[in-house]
Amino acid sequence: MKDVIRIGSGAAWWGDRVEPAALNAEKGQLDYLCFETMAEATVSAAQVRARRDPSFPGYDTYLDDRMKAVLPACMKNGTKIITNQGWINPDAAAKRIVYWLNEFGFKGVKVASVNGSLITEHVLELTDVILENGQPTSTLKQNLISAEDYQGAEPIVEALKAGAQIVITGRVADPSIFMAPMMYEFDWDPLDHVKLGQGNGIGHLLECGAQATGGYFSDPGFKDVPEPWNFGFPIAEVSRDGSAVITKVAGTGGAITLETIKEQMLYEVHDPANYLTPDVVVDFTTVQIEQVGVDRVRVSHIGGKPRTPTLKVSIGCTEGFIGEDMFFYAGPGALRRAELAKKILEERFKIVKLQAEELRIDYLGLNAIHGAATPADAPEPYEVAVRVAARTKTREEAAKVGREIDGMAVSGIAHTGKRVPHQDRTREVIGVWSSLVAREKVFASVNYFVS
């Protein structure tokens, strides 16, 4: 067993860039390359596509791109791959990876798929209360589409112990993907919350990719970093005691500093003393961070508390449709014309009897982000995009938005700029609710495939 292992980030979300992952695979001297591409919104998108497209295989739509980019270097360098790109069909994703292994001529490579996160058929029996509103989960029965519990690192460790060189999962918590190699290589006990607190904390630093190296941190003139067009993804040199040095491939853009690491450490953490994960409750309040070199930050003494008796469950439900489109004004008086256009549309929606549960007409560049909090004396923009969106119960009602905006091209006001709609302007909405399930009531399983 090694005393230090190198774990690299390959993705922070479904739409992340592929090139930094390929660079980590080629030059990162990695023991493990980990991809995190599954979020609540991603699950919803996958379920929507599966409903309308029976041919959709259910895994990350960029799986091919990512595997083609990293498999040659990973196989050559002995780098193992762990990823949750299996989304709602890990078995199909594993078989697809085997296909690419065969295409590249890599024979005898064991690929594992971790299943068990999908609990749609039994979720209403296993859960009681919706966390967001306190209502019984049974109230979701009519609109229920899918339910996934957040698994931890243990099934990944099981797969690694069985000799898997590539492990692909469904819904596994983001930091758990990165901590599993530590548990396996250092033989950590799944109930050792001291070690797992440190491991999961390091996993949290890696899970968001370039956010630890300057991405989402860079702010021109205030927080500048070198070559932001060329961010490298972070690499953790993890020691057996759970401490780690965060670094990146030399020559890549961005920076690893106390500031970048601190920002990522607190990202999406509501309570730094109690960051809940399936494996452990992480306590960041005891952490020690020190700059030990250029683009090298040592992180140690992250705390841990015993894991909770429950796991989080995300429940996807149909919540109608959204109709959305936009049009444009520019030059002096752009805002004045946009305001009149808003009045016209509000009246025309009454004429066509638009049945909308929610209607928004925003001015991009003025108030679309801050809404009512936009200062009353905000300077008038030189150009304005008018975005119109309505949430409705049916697709037919949602389609009324695009139809009325089309009319603005010739039945609007002066200087209306209308784009030709080459895309579907209606989309189904899958809302995501949360609940808890007793961890002993859900089970993971691991399947194996060999190239």
Q: Cα 185 from chain centroid?
A: 26
pLDDT at 368: 84
State the pTM of this model: 0.93
Mean pLDDT, residues 180-192: 98
CB 278 within 8 Å of CB 152 = yes
**Surface-to-core class of residue 152, CB atoms within 10 Å of its CB (0-12 exposed, 13-18 middle, 19+ buried):** buried
Cα separation, 237 vs 219, whole angstroms: 28
> Residue 223: which pLDDT band, with cuts at 50, 70 and 90?
very high
Q: What's the maximum distance between 2 C-alpha atoms anywhere in the chain?
A: 73
pLDDT digits (tens, 9 = 90+) for 307-347: 999 999 999 998 999 999 999 999 999 999 999 999 999 99
Sign of the dihedral through C-alpha 211, 148, 140, 130: negative
Structure tokens at 335: 């805002």
pLDDT at 46: 85
pLDDT at 221: 93
CATH number for the region 315-433 comes to 3.30.70
Mean pLDDT, residues 353-376: 92
pLDDT at 40: 75
> Residue 41: which pLDDT band, with cuts at 50, 70 and 90?
confident
pLDDT at 285: 98
Cα separation, 202 vs 242, whole angstroms: 8
**Surface-to-core class of residue 376, CB atoms within 10 Å of its CB (0-12 exposed, 13-18 middle, 19+ buried):** exposed
CB 423 within 8 Å of CB 311 = no
> Residue 51: which pLDDT band, with cuts at 50, 70 and 90?
confident
CB 393 within 8 Å of CB 345 = no
Looking up tokens 């930091």 gives: 175
pLDDT at 18: 97
Structure tokens at 9: 């980030």
CA dihedral 272, 169, 97, 48 (to 10 degrees): -100
CB 178 within 8 Å of CB 34 = yes
Sign of the dihedral through C-alpha 395, 15, 163, 299: negative
Compute how many other C-beta atoms are within 10 angstroms of the C-beta atom of residue 301: 16
Cα separation, 337 vs 324, whole angstroms: 20
Mean pLDDT, residues 107-133: 96
pLDDT at 130 over 80: yes
Of 286-300, 313-327, 368-382, the range with the lowest mean pLDDT is: 368-382
Q: What integer best gives the mean pLDDT of the chain?
A: 95
pLDDT digits (tens, 9 = 90+) for 135-183: 999 999 999 988 999 999 999 999 999 999 999 999 999 999 999 999 9
Compute how many other C-beta atoms are within 10 angstroms of the C-beta atom of residue 367: 14
Cα separation, 310 vs 192, whole angstroms: 17
Name the segment(s) of the chain with CATH classification 3.30.70: 315-433
CB 120 within 8 Å of CB 72 = no
Mean pLDDT, residues 111-138: 96
Q: Find the angle CA(254)-CA(6)-CA(223) to the nearest 5 degrees.
A: 15
pLDDT at 365: 87
- HEC profile for the chain? CCCEEEEEEEECCCCCCCHHHHHHHHHCCCCEEEECCCCHHHHHHHHHHHHHCCCCCCCCCCHHHHHHHHHHHHHHHCCEEEECCCCCCHHHHHHHHHHHHHHHCCCCCEEEEEECCECHHHHHHHCCECCCCCCEHHHHHHHEEEEEECECCHHHHHHHHCCCCEEEECCECHHHHHHHHHHHHHCCCCCCHHHHHHHHHHHHHHHCHHHHCCCCCCECCCECCCCHHHECCCEEEEECCCCEEEECCCCCECCCCHHHHHHHHHCCCCCCCCEECCCCEEEHHHCEEEEEECCEEEEECCEEECCCCEEEEEEEEEEEEEEEEEEEEECCCHHHHHHHHHHHHHHHHHHCCCCCCEEEEEEECCCCCCHHHCCCCCCCCCEEEEEEEEEECCHHHHHHHHHHHHHHHHHCCCCCEECCCCCCCEEEEEEEEEEEEEHHHCCCEEEEEEC
Length of the chain measured in residues: 451
Cα separation, 278 vs 134, whole angstroms: 22
Pairing of strands 281-283, 303-305: antiparallel
Cα separation, 189 vs 283, whole angstroms: 18
pLDDT at 406: 93
Structure tokens at 59: 């895994």
What is the C-alpha R_g of the chain? 24
> Residue 418: which pLDDT band, with cuts at 50, 70 and 90?
confident
